[in-house]
Amino acid sequence: MSAQVQIKTALISVFSKNRIDLIARLLNNLNINILSTGGTYDFIRNLGIDVTAIDTITSYPSILGGRVKTLHPKIFGGILYRRDMDVDRKEIKQYEIPPIDLVIVDLYPFENTVEQTNDDDEIIEKIDIGGISLIRASAKNFKDVLIVPSADQYDQLIALLTLKSGSSDIEDRKYFATQAFNVSSHYDTRIFEYFNKDQKIKTFKRSIPKPNPLRYGENPHQQGLFYGDLNKVFEQLHGKAVSYNNLVDIDAAINLIREFSDPTFVVIKHTNACGIATRTNPKDAWNDALACDPISAFGGVITTNRPVDIDTAKELNKLFFEILIAEEYDQEALELLKSRKNRILLKKKAFDVLPMQFKSVLNGVIEQEKDLKTEEETDFHPVTKAVPSALEIQDLIFANKIVKHQKSNTIVLVKGKQLIGSGVGQTSRVDALKQALVKAQEFGFGLKGAVMASDAFFPFADCVEIAHQAGINAVVQPGGSVRDSDSISYCDANGMSMVFTGIRHFKH
């Protein structure tokens, strides 16, 4: 194993020529010979720097419309040549193969092309063959060759060559090789995803190459990272950097607010809605959402589907909260809300919801389709003699949208398109109902005329009995229990209406 390698020959084959002038001049100053191809060769030559065209070594021109340029034994032999093996040295000499010590590659922009066009032929042509092969060959032979797999490593290369006068250590080369396999595996994953849109091969592959460090994870002693592009989701207008817990709550808030089209405010605490109301204007929607549970709202995450005006901002500003998410802010409202230094203000952008969700469990990953089913009146199947009124139907739809997003076991109570009580994350449905009733009573809500939604069926009649005794007369639930008849019979005997949806909404 050669620990220190003095670079004598470098191969540059890149799609983007950005900053290649800096690297080429540095290599030239270090008396490193440069080999190159096609447009890169022309670019370097036009800088007035000596450069050797690949085809003068291979005796083959670029062929098949540029598909084949570097794929030749004289190139790959020079890269894969093991300097400490006699047999390799003899063959290198026998076949007059020039050793290559540094390879710089910038791949065809396949990922960007997929985002910019639906033209299958154009996309396929942006699948890099020669570049990816150069990366893999160079990284495999990291004991002797330094590989720079993308423009993201240019700064590190320049610093290394400058510091070590055109040489590299084994530690340097192994680090760059690791980066190379990171680049190549991500590139191949994106190509697979493109092809697999039609083929639907069942396999778990995800690649998001650039982590965003978070202040910490769920707790201060845990490290946290976010993999993704938050700039596609929102623009941060004010406040401190978002945390791990913030992101989890932001996700919950955005998923819930998507369910509503009329002016609505949602308050989230630990991923559960503790306040939500729909009204004719944002100010009233906010005040009534806050009234649901003003204690839990303290330090919460708030979102709305309407622009925040100054009147609404004045009301919001009375409460300490961590995050506000809106599609727009009036300038005067924004300036007022910025009065708290660390308050996070986000402007939400339109973005595609991922159709699948996954999490790590045990020694693997579980994946499922996202719960995107939202029931409407046509999905309600009355199972009792009494049927809900038109107003109750609207509240049942409202309640069922909320219950879908709460932690199981959960019960949601709604009156006049306002959450008035909820029980979440309970080990029994009865406990969830009792928690919801306590919340409603604690904050002064009358239960007469309220409706109840459950994320799953009632195994016994106890829940409808307790709800009825509290003044609730309309219920929506999935149904499906072997003892559904018990709940139906109780409702019929007491004049309650109940509808089944046939759709369970567990959330763990």
The per-residue pLDDT for range 469-494, each reduced to its tens digit, is 999 999 999 999 999 999 999 999 99
E-assigned strand segments in 316-425: 323-326, 344-348, 356-361, 364-369, 381-382, 411-414, 419-423
d(Cα 456, Cα 458) in Å, to the nearest integer? 7
Catalytic site residue from 8, 17, 164, 270: 270
Starting from the edge strand earliest in sequence, which strands make up the sheet with 33-36, in order?
52-53, 33-36, 9-14, 102-106, 146-148
Closest-CA residue to 267 (of 217, 223, 309, 302): 302
Q: Radius of gyration of the chain from Cα atoms?
A: 31
Asked if residue 439 has pLDDT above 50, the reply is yes
Asked if residue 30 has pLDDT above 60, the reply is yes
pLDDT at 353: 82
Helix (H, G, I), strand (E, B) or coil at 67: coil
| CB-CB neighbours of 71 under 10 Å | 15
pLDDT at 395: 98
pLDDT digits (tens, 9 = 90+) for 108-128: 999 899 989 999 999 999 998
Its pTM stands at 0.87
270 catalytic? Reply is: yes
CB 148 within 8 A of CB 103: yes
pLDDT digits (tens, 9 = 90+) for 160-203: 999 999 999 999 999 999 999 999 999 999 999 999 988 889 99
434 catalytic? Reply is: no
Q: What is the pLDDT averaged over residues 275-293? A: 98
**pLDDT above 90: percentage of residues in the chain:** 87
pLDDT at 67: 80
Catalytic site residue from 8, 17, 140, 164: 140
- Would you place residue 61 in the very low, low, confident or very high pLDDT band (cuts 50, 70, 90)? confident
| Phi and psi angles of residue 117, each rounded to the nearest 5 degrees, phi first | -150, 160
- Would you place residue 1 in the very low, low, confident or very high pLDDT band (cuts 50, 70, 90)? very low
